[in-house]
């Protein structure tokens, strides 16, 4: 697994910034950024579950939808998805089927769940486990910058 570098940290912080934007709009505090192999930002997205009245409006799902319309499969395969929090089961599936080969996240799901009121609607399975069962490899790195990402929920 590739160690996180300054570029990874910069884009994780951008994803965390997008989580603030989502929160300020009344949505769940989650954001995501997709960066191509050449370092170019391919797409950015935030959670829109409340404002779009869409249970699937997670940041990573929104990001995959945007990016899939903009770039080809080869570009997606070379991209890294940066998420403010560990992708849930639904989002991990979307990442897998998009062909993105690397995910970097800030806030781990266990810490994230511990900060939220229990809803009974969680699928408590880590994205590593889901992505590790796929037919092609997806590198997963995280958690990183957990305290920064967690502050968005407590500010």
Active-site residue numbers? 60
Which conformational region is residue 44 in: left (phi greater than 0), alpha (psi within -120 to 50 degrees), or beta?
Answer: beta
CB 19 within 8 Å of CB 84: yes
- Long-range contacts made by residues 4-8, C-beta under 8 angstroms, separation at least 24? 4/104, 4/141, 4/144, 7/35, 7/39, 8/80, 8/82, 8/104, 8/141, 8/144
- Burial class, 81, CB count within 10 angstroms (exposed 0-12 / middle 13-18 / buried 19+): buried
């Amino acid at each position: 697994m590739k160690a996180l570098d300054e570029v990874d940290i910069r884009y994780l912080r951008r994803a965390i910034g997008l989580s603030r934007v989502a929160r300020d709009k009344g949505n769940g505090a989650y954001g995501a950024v997709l960066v191509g192999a050449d370092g170019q930002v391919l797409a950015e997205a935030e959670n829109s579950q409340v404002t779009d009245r869409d249970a699937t409006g997670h940041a990573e799902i929104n990001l995959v939808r945007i990016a899939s319309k903009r770039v080809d499969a080869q570009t997606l395969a070379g991209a890294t998805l940066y998420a403010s929090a560990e992708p849930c089961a639904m989002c991990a599936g979307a990442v897998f089927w998009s062909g993105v080969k690397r995910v970097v996240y800030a806030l781990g799901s266990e810490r994230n769940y511990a900060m939220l009121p229990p809803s009974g609607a969680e699928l408590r399975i880590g994205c590593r486990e889901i992505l590790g069962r796929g037919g092609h490899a997806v590198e997963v790195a995280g958690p990183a910058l957990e305290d920064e990402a967690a502050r968005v929920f407590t500010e």
